[in-house]
A and B are shown apart, each in its own frame.
Chain A
Amino acid sequence: MNINLKIWRQKGVKEEGKLHNYRLENVDPNISFLEMLDILNINLVKEKRDPVAFDHDCREGICGSCGFMINGRPHGPQKATTVCQLHMRSFKNEDTILLEPFRAEAFPVIKDLSVDRQVFDKIISSGGYISANTGEVPEANETKIEKKYADEAFLSSACIGCGACVAACKNSSAMLFTSAKVSHLSLLPQGAKDKDARVINMVATMDEMGFGSCTNTGACSAECPKEISQENISRLNQDFIKSSLMGLLKRNK
């Protein structure tokens, strides 16, 4: 198949970017989308031109490194699929494909399709953990955890931190990302320990980092490559209200 690419090229954070056109011919539809970009880049290197920068690593859909907009959608057209797991058979001969970086104030463009998502680490370090020093913990089977809660927690913790939810949201909200971690930990009995501080601090950090607010459009969950459920957001909201009220009550005592 032959394809036409329109790719956002931007030299650095402070530079202006613009779209460039490229054409690739005789592309095997069974190669992955990133392998298609590898071919483009080898061609560019051979022409002594700067190859297109993009983040990627495991190419198994789990590390969360890859992610950019393909025809206006984070990770492209295939549901529940990261860019690295997308294959050229999802496109048609002579298609024009538009590639742009994730757009969000909190994710500055580093170069071309690569963005800086370090703010996610900041949200996690402000409370996305259970305080348990190494070695100072009980025997693993001491606390039974009902399978349904363990399974539910697993589904929330399957988030890969790619940022597609933010890119999909018209307000660039990080609510799905944050709520998935809050839910994962608060669904488990171990997580009860830091529960109140966790939700309040993580939400505060999220706001501080310049993410927009959540208006429950559900675009985040619809575009999430790991299908993280919107239910996490309701859980976060409940926890947040409860914890804030508890805080107020304590202060008024």
Chain B
Amino acid sequence: MSNKNLFSKAPNGDLYTKWEEYKKSLKTLSFDEADQYKVIIIGTGLAGASAAATMAEHGFNVHAFSFHESPRRAHSIAAQGGINAAKNYKNDGDSVMRLFYDTIKGGDFRSREDNVYRLAEISKNIIDQCVAQGVPFAREYGGLLDNRSFGGVQVSRTFYARGQTGQQLLLGAYSALSRQTEKNKVKFYPRHDMLDVVLKDGKAKGIITRNLLNGEIKAHSADIVILATGGYSNVYYLSTNAMASNVTANWRAHRKGALFANPSFTQIHPTCIPVKNEFQSKLTLMSESLRNDGRVWVPKKKNDTRKPVDIPENERDYYLERIYPAFGNLVPRDVASRRAKEVCDEGRGIGPTGFAVYLDFKRAIKEKGEDFIREKYGNLFDMYQNITDENPYKTPMKIYPAVHYTMGGLWVDYNLMTTVEGLFSIGESNFSDHGANRLGASALMQGLADGYFVIPHTAMHYLAEEKPLGKDISDEKEFLEAIEHTKREIDELMSIDGEYAVDEVHRELGKVVWDNVGMARNEAGLKEALKKIPKIKEKFWKEISIPGSDKDINQELEKALRIKDFIELAELMAFDALDREESCGAHFREEYQTEENEAERNDKDYKYVAAWEYSKSGQPKLFKEDLKYENVKLKTRSYK
């Protein structure tokens, strides 16, 4: 395996011109030359679909796999609030440099300067591309594109399509992909799970899939493999991710040698609808954009059971406005979440469980009118009312933090290649751009930047130096062995004849991860998690039950194959959180905080990306990529 020293491979030179200069130095292939190569892409959300479309436009033969029936079902579709771009249409002093700096600072100085600058630079092209595809972004009366602001920044740079921005962007990328399907440049494999990466001479040359309709295990060979498989928030059982979002493709790649970076950097989103009971299957996000007009508060008194209308202004604590006068309700997600947890832990939480705070629109409705609020957030208000049976135009919303996004992911270099040659990772599935905390409206930006504008160049360069396979090699030894291995694993799962449904074990795992590797972590809790997780693993392998056959649609088997990997990942998350004896961004170690309860970073000892190597023995090995800051000054993050 190469690249163990973990250098980003970012070119030297001026940050501001680096990417453009680098692009010029990359090798290119003509359409006919590219036509000699086959590219496998796993996942067809924003990153996967945009990469598939663009690579196909360049001439590559793309084979795109998804466990969904259609690319349009990918979870990118559920992103609500918006997408950032440094267009400075509002003339409020925005610039590429400012977006770059906000992202680095928002990530609490744990991301790579070169990648983040490139992302900020590309952000502008993304908006052009999406508008050309027909994405119906919100517009002002004059016909120009509208913007709004989001957490952690003081400019308006977020483009949006009501509360359905992810949907509209995904439908745009899906339409570009569909256009290539029609031209036979993209072949889409619906309802396929990827269960292994196949290496030949140390390079990724294919995958093993399970057809979810008939259980067929099949090998597919290609010149490169690109993983665009999203995040792993579902390790917590309850999250805002879709039910089937999973880590399996990434974990299988990890087992084959791809290092997994910063696994414990997981984002807890401050504004979600609180958990109601034990049957809850997933959590629903209320877009961060609501914090533009909603004010967060709890009663000043503990255990105050009065209705919100009965609590007078002077007995309310608008704690974000109080603690952070400059940013107020628009502090970054990690800060807003932790402060919510803090006031609830103090006993000032509201609602039946005490684990909720108010998000109040009364003032905005009074000042701007109900119609204005409806125009801006109508679908979110409707969704809230439908789920909770309460009318947020009349009574404040109840919200609580929930797991939403994972900054961690496969380690990639500047070219978005993992430590396995020929294996790339894009979008949420890699670790690259958000450091220890992602700012709102930046996930869509990164997914599309990677897919439309980065991977087509870097993967083309890689392929230009590789001879095309030119034939199907999926009958070679490495592939046959991988098929056998996958079949054995499935047989083993099917033969466990226990008493528990897979979901029950998953829920148990989620509780351990949430309690110990959640919003606040400490050494004792992490060690406890490392004791408990192996027991859950044992229970899983001995006591689950999967009825039916593996040669048929079997949704329990699908879940089991995913939970199996989540259990192993959970352990790695605890190792990672234990290793990092500092607080940064979303990783809050209780032992390391300032007197004002803010995260206390330790740049001297922990200014690195922690990239872990899989080990069968259960003791993963840590590799470090030292982060260099040449263009920004390391500062204590302050939103006061």
Contacts and interface: CB of A to CB of B under 8 A. Distances in A.
A62 B74 CA distance: 10
Contacts of B145: 140-141
Interface string B405-437: 000000000000000000000000000000000
A137 B57 CA distance: 14
A12 B552 contact: yes
Contacts of A6: none
Contacts of A209: none
Given A118-B69, A134-B129, A157 B242 contact: no
Contacts of B144: 141, 144
B553 A53 contact: yes
Interface stretch (A42-50, A69-77, A96-104): A42-50
A138 B132 CA distance: 7
A119 to B, nearest CB: 10
Given A154-B162, A154-B168, A130 B132 contact: yes
Interface string A118-135: 101100111011111111
A95 interface: no
Tier of interface size on chain A: 35 or more
B310 to A, nearest CB: 24
B87 interface: yes
A31 B279 CA distance: 7
Interface in B61-100: 68-75, 77-78, 87, 89
Contact of A137 (B128, B137, B142): B128
Nearest to A187: B136
Given A63-B242, A134-B53, A157 B168 contact: yes
Contacts of B182: 125-126
Contacts of A57: 68, 73, 75, 242-244
A105 interface: no
Nearest to A52: B555
A87 interface: yes
Given A46-B499, A58-B75, A153 B389 contact: no
Contacts of A151: 136, 139
Contact of A63 (B78, B138, B141): B78
Contacts of A137: 128-129, 131-132
B24 to A, nearest CB: 14
A44 B503 CA distance: 13
26 contacts: A12-B553, A28-B279, A32-B281, A32-B387, A41-B501, A42-B503, A42-B504, A44-B547, A45-B501, A48-B547, A49-B547, A57-B244, A60-B284, A63-B78, A111-B552, A114-B553, A121-B188, A125-B178, A130-B175, A133-B57, A134-B129, A137-B128, A140-B130, A146-B139, A147-B139, A153-B136
Nearest to A80: B382
Given A45-B545, A121-B72, A128-B178, 12 more contacts: A31-B276, A46-B545, A58-B77, A65-B68, A128-B175, A129-B133, A132-B176, A137-B128, A151-B139, A185-B134, A188-B136, A190-B133
Q: Which of B131, B386, B499 has the most CB of A within 10 A?
A: B131
A3 interface: no
Contacts of B276: 30-31
Interface string A20-60: 00000000101110110011011011101111010111111
A170 interface: no
B370 interface: no
B428 to A, nearest CB: 15
B87 A140 contact: yes
Interface of B: 50, 53-54, 57, 68-75, 77-78, 87, 89, 125, 127-134, 136-145, 161-162, 164, 166-168, 171, 174-176, 178-179, 181-182, 188, 190, 213, 242-244, 276-277, 279-282, 284-285, 383, 386-387, 389, 452-453, 456, 499-504, 545-548, 552-553, 555-556
A140 B136 contact: no
A11 B213 CA distance: 11
Which 10 residue pairs are nearest across A and B when measured between Cβ atoms? A144-B143, A137-B132, A129-B175, A125-B178, A154-B136, A132-B132, A45-B501, A57-B242, A140-B131, A134-B54
B501 A42 contact: yes
Contacts of B176: 129, 132, 134
Contacts of B161: 154
Given A12-B552, A35-B279, A58-B242, A184 B136 contact: yes
A65 B284 contact: no
A178 interface: no
A12 to B, nearest CB: 7
B301 to A, nearest CB: 28
Contacts of A145: 139, 143
Contacts of B383: 60-61, 85
